[in-house]
A and B are shown apart, each in its own frame.
Chain A
Amino acid sequence: MATPPRAATSVRTDLFLYALAGASYVGASIVEKGLLNWIVGPAWCVAVVAGVPALGRKLRQLRPGKRAAP
């Protein structure tokens, strides 16, 4: 199977991240409406969209099999 071009993969990843951020924020804020404010809303978006990939990269680096040989 052909590998999708990098740009298409990036768009799909972005869509997934924004959807994840939106679904989690809406779900959490229906339960706790105190989360619906000017600070938490934008911060939630940035934290998920920028933070999840960064966390993924950190975790991949920590996996023993992926460490560079000494």
Chain B
Amino acid sequence: MSWAAHQFEIYAVQAHLPKKMRGKVSFFAIFLGDFTPDFLSKFWVYGITINGVRYGADEPHVWHRGWPGMGFTHTLFLGALLTAGIWLLRRNRAWTIGYLLGFAAHALTDVNDSVGTMLLFPFTTLNWSVHTWKYAATADGGKYLDGAAYYSSLGFAMDVFWLLVVLASWRVLTREYWRTHVVPADPYVWSWLGRWFGERGLLAIYRSVFFYGVCRLVAWTTWAHLVANPVIGGVRYDGYPWDLSWTGPWWIPGREIQQVPVWVVLPFTLALLAAVYWTAIRLWDRMEPRPRV
């Protein structure tokens, strides 16, 4: 799974909208779309412990990304269904297209870990994975081991990559951009929030997910490498060992679900990304509100 990358990609999507959609796609919808897959599935991945008894998935990777399980929450199929539902309910293209792009960003970037996502569900339940780093959520290790493994592997590089993508488009974080591109796409929501917050507060709300991503990246990396003292294979380490090789880190066992050949995954994922943008552009024109006579 990706961690702070999911926070940064929201701003990356916002900054790289097709030209005709700039200033017209809902930022909140992009956020909700990106948030939905993990919101629906992740609560049971780590589980909860009450009175020393853990309640959660026995095989978190199967629950999170597999079938049977909640793996369908990370599929473009569910994204398309929910997007259609939003359109039928709201007839609002700013929300519909924003949601689609956010959801697709999440489902497609999660092909990087060793478990991947079921990109062609329901036609096949095979997972698609590039194996860039190991999926590390386990029933025993919980969130700590997962975080330590992710921020010791190329997952860390993935977060930094997405951070750099946003920083390269730094204007997306400015007050001017927020005023001219974000507020006009969601006037009612921002106006409603404006009953409680001044402009500084509203801007903080807009930037808060980016803030959370940066802090998450810094805090987990600091903890994993400067604070934790893990014992791995009977040896005590000062911090979890870095392993920026492909499919790292070496110090946890890999988890996989039956998958398509790895060499197919990257070109196919990029093709799907292009297809999602192409579809969004086509739908955008068709969804244009018709003037009332």
- Which one of B147, B205, B207, B219 has the highest number of Cβ atoms from chain A below 10 Å of its Cβ? B219
Name the contact of B215 in the complex, choosing from A14, A41, A43, A46 (C-beta under 8 A).
A41
Contact with B along A36-50 (1 / 0, CB 8 A): 101001110110011
Question: Would B197 and A36 count as touching, CB distance under 8 A?
Answer: no
Q: Which residue of B lies closest to A14 (CB)?
A: B200
- Cβ of A33: which chain B residues have Cβ within 8 Å of it? 143-144, 147, 219-220, 223
Q: Are A42 and B211 in contact (CB under 8 A)?
A: yes
Question: Could you say which interface size class chain B belongs to?
Answer: 20 to 34
A21 to chain B, nearest CB (A): 7
Q: Is B216 positioned at the interface, with any CB of A under 8 Å from its CB?
A: yes
User: What is the size, in residues, of chain A's interface with B at 8 Å between Cβ atoms?
Assistant: 19
- Could you tell me the distance between the alpha carbons of A68 and B147 in the complex, rounded to whole angstroms? 54
Give the docked Cα–Cα distance between A46 and B199 (Å).
Answer: 11
Q: Indicate with 1 or 0, residue by residue over B192-220, a CB within 8 angstroms of chain A CB atoms.
A: 00000110110111011101101110111
With both chains docked as a complex, state the minimum distance between the C-beta of B212 and any C-beta of chain A, in angstroms. 3
Q: Which A residues, 18 to 34, have Cβ-Cβ distances below 8 Å to chain B?
A: 18, 21-22, 25-26, 29-30, 33
From A14, A45, A50, contact of B212 by CB (8 A): A45
User: What residue in chain B is nearest A40 (Cβ atoms)?
Assistant: B212
Chain A residues closer than 8 Å to B222, beta-carbon distance: 26, 30
Set of chain A residues within 8 Å of B144, measured between Cβ atoms: 33
Q: Are A46 and B216 in contact (CB under 8 A)?
A: no
List the A side residues contacting B212 at CB < 8 Å: 38, 41-42, 45
Contacts of B283 in A (CB 8 A): none
Say which residue of B198, B211, B227 sits within 8 Å of A41 (CB atoms): B211
| B204 nearest CB neighbor, chain A only | A49
Cα distance A46–B209 in the bound complex, in angstroms:
10
Bound: A18/B212 CA distance, A: 11
Bound state CA distance, A53 and B117, in angstroms? 44
A46 adjacent to B227 (CB under 8 Å): no
Determine the chain B residues whose CB is within 8 A of the CB of A22 once the complex forms.
Answer: 211, 214-215, 218
Please give, as numbers and ranges, the residues of chain B lying within 8 Å of A45 by CB-CB distance. 204, 207-208, 211-212
User: Does B284 belong to the interface (CB within 8 Å)?
Assistant: no
B35, CB-defined interface residue at 8 Å: yes
A46 close to B214 (CB less than 8 A): no
Closest CB-CB distance, B287 to chain A, in whole Å?
A: 29
Bound-state Cα–Cα, A19 to B147, Å: 24
Would A50 and B197 be within 8 Å (CB), given that A18-B211, A41-B216, A45-B211 are in contact?
Answer: yes
Contacts of A50 in B (CB 8 A): 197-198, 200-201, 204
Q: Once the chains bind, are A26 and B204 in contact (CB under 8 Å)?
A: no
CA distance A15 to B203 in the complex (A): 13
Inside 8 A of A53's CB, which chain B residues have their CB?
A: 200
B→A interface (CB under 8 Å)? 35, 143-144, 147, 197-198, 200-201, 203-205, 207-209, 211-212, 214-216, 218-220, 222-223, 227
- Counting from the closest, the 3 A-B pairs by CB-CB distance are A41-B212, A50-B201, A42-B208
Q: List 18 A-B contacts (CB under 8 A).
A: A14-B200, A18-B207, A18-B211, A25-B215, A25-B219, A26-B215, A30-B223, A33-B147, A36-B215, A36-B216, A41-B208, A41-B211, A42-B205, A43-B208, A45-B204, A46-B205, A49-B201, A50-B204
Which residues of A are at the interface with B, using a C-beta cutoff of 8 A?
Answer: 14, 18, 21-22, 25-26, 29-30, 33, 36, 38, 41-43, 45-46, 49-50, 53
